[in-house]
Amino acid sequence: MAVKPVLLTIAMSSLLLGCGEKAADSFCKSHAKEHQLHQSDITQVNIYYSEQGQIVAQIKIAQQHAHYQALANVAKVLEVKADKACSDASVEITEQGIYYQASYSLDCGAENKLNKVSVPILDNFKTIDEVEVAISTPSSAKHFLLSRQCDSPIFNL
């Protein structure tokens, strides 16, 4: 008699876990199409890397997610690793309604090989659920979404 409740519990748990996974999976697969509906509300990151070695990162973020001081701290937003050191980043932050518009620019030089550009905003601004990113380099450009619910970026927006 005791077997039935155990089996039932296992079955229900599996079902719930399964459904949980499916829901997240389903969101990640379908969100590219639905993203437009809330596009204007979410955090946006635009990064331009020019042939001359200039890097400009622009971030539009709701004030509820970030304090001015935190945004002014470049290390919380942008870290660049290159063969040679880049110039210190200049920061400009303006308020636009309920948003901050932050711009970071630095010069790494045309002959400098860029290795890694880290943008730790998901780590440092914990209330952000989703970020829309556009990156442009001299060779190509990519546009994608990062969601805490998904294991990988969402392309083809």
- The site for another protein (CB under 8 A) is made up of 47, 49, 114-123, 131, 133, 135, 137-142, 144, 146, 148, 151-153, 155-156
Q: Which is nearer to another protein, 97 or 114 (CB)?
A: 114
The DSSP secondary-structure symbol of 23 reads: H
Quote the CA–CA distance of 17 and 133 in Å, as a whole number.
31
Q: How far is the CB of 115 from another protein (least distance, A)?
A: 7
Q: How far is the CB of 38 from another protein (least distance, A)?
A: 19
For the chain, the C-alpha Rg in angstroms (whole number) is 20
Alpha helices for the chain (secondary structure H): 3-34, 68-72, 121-124
Q: How far is the CB of 2 from another protein (least distance, A)?
A: 38
Q: Which is nearer to another protein, 21 or 95 (CB)?
A: 21
Q: How far is the CB of 51 from another protein (least distance, A)?
A: 11
Q: Which is nearer to another protein, 64 or 140 (CB)?
A: 140
Token pair recorded at residue 70: 């935190």
Token pair recorded at residue 76: 């919380």
The helix/strand/coil state of 157 is coil
Residue written as tokens 């914990």?
126
Q: Which is nearer to another protein, 29 or 38 (CB)?
A: 29
Bridge partners for 101 per DSSP? 60, 94
